[in-house]
Chains A and B, each alone.
Chain A
Amino acid sequence: MHPFDRRSFLKSVSAAAGASILSVAPARAAAPKARVVVVGGGFGGATAAKYLRLLDPGIEVTLIERGKLYTSCPLSNEVISGERSIKTLQSGYGGLAARGVKVVHDEVTQIDPVKKVVSTAAAGDFPYDALVMAPGVDFDYSAVGGLSAELAETRLPHAWKAGPQTLLLQKQLQAMPDGGRFIIAVPKGPFRCPPGPYERAAQVAMYCKHHGKKKAKILILDANDGFSKRPLFEQAWKALYGYGEGGMIEWVSGVNGGQVEQVDVSGMSVMTTFEQHKGDVINIIPPHRAGKIARDAGLANFKGAWCAVKPESMESTAHKDIYVVGDSCVGGELATGNPFPKSAHMANSQAKVVVASLVAKLNGLPPPVPIYTNSCYSVVGHDWGFSVVALFRVENNQWVYVKDGSGISPVTFGTKEKPVPVPRIYRKMEAEYADGWLRNLMADCYA
Chain B
Amino acid sequence: MRNTLLALILAGRAGTAAARGNIEVLARTCNSCHGVGGVSAGATMPSIGGLPRDYLSNIMKQWKYDERSAITMNRIVKGLSNDEIDALAAYFAQQPWVPVPQKANPETLARGKTEVDNNCADCHGASGGDPDVDAPPLNGQWARYMELELQKYQSKEFKMPHRKMRKAAQQAKPADASAAARHFGAQGR
Q: CB distance A1 to B26 under 8 Å?
A: no
B67 in the interface (beta carbon within 8 A): no
Q: CB distance A435 to B42 under 8 Å?
A: yes
Q: Tell me how many residues of A have a C-beta within 8 Å of chain B.
A: 53
Residues from 130 to 180 in B contacting A, C-beta threshold 8 Å: 142, 144-145, 148, 151-152, 155, 157
Q: Which residues of A contact B36 (CB under 8 A)?
A: 12, 15-16, 54, 443-444, 447
With contacts A391-B79, A435-B43 taken as known, whether A440 is within 8 angstroms of B32 at the C-beta atoms is yes
B128 in the interface (beta carbon within 8 A): no
Q: CB distance B44 to A375 under 8 Å?
A: no
- Across the A-B interface, how many residue pairs have beta carbons closer than 8 Å? 144
Q: CB distance A2 to B17 under 8 Å?
A: yes
Q: CB distance B78 to A440 under 8 Å?
A: no
A302 in the interface (beta carbon within 8 A): no
* Alpha-carbon distance A441/B24, docked complex (angstroms): 18
A352 in the interface (beta carbon within 8 A): yes
Q: Which residues of B contact A218 (CB under 8 A)?
A: none
Q: Which residues of B contact A369 (CB under 8 A)?
A: 22, 25
Q: Which residues of A contact B148 (CB under 8 A)?
A: 429, 432
Q: Which residues of A contact B77 (CB under 8 A)?
A: 405
Main secondary structure on chain A at its contact with chain B? helix
Residues from 30 to 54 in B contacting A, C-beta threshold 8 Å: 31-37, 39-45
Q: CB distance B78 to A16 under 8 Å?
A: no
Q: Tell me how many residues of B have a C-beta within 8 Å of chain A.
A: 44
B3 in the interface (beta carbon within 8 A): no
CB distance from B150 to the nearest CB of A (A): 12
* Alpha-carbon distance A426/B157, docked complex (angstroms): 9
Stretch binding the partner chain, chosen from A197-205, A325-333, A360-368: A360-368
Q: CB distance A368 to B45 under 8 Å?
A: no
Smallest CB-CB separation from A373: which chain B residue?
B29
With contacts A402-B79, A432-B148, A438-B42 taken as known, whether A387 is within 8 angstroms of B72 at the C-beta atoms is yes
A217 in the interface (beta carbon within 8 A): no
A31 in the interface (beta carbon within 8 A): no
- Pick from B28, B45, B152: contact of A352, CB below 8 A: B28
Q: Which residues of B contact A438 (CB under 8 A)?
A: 42
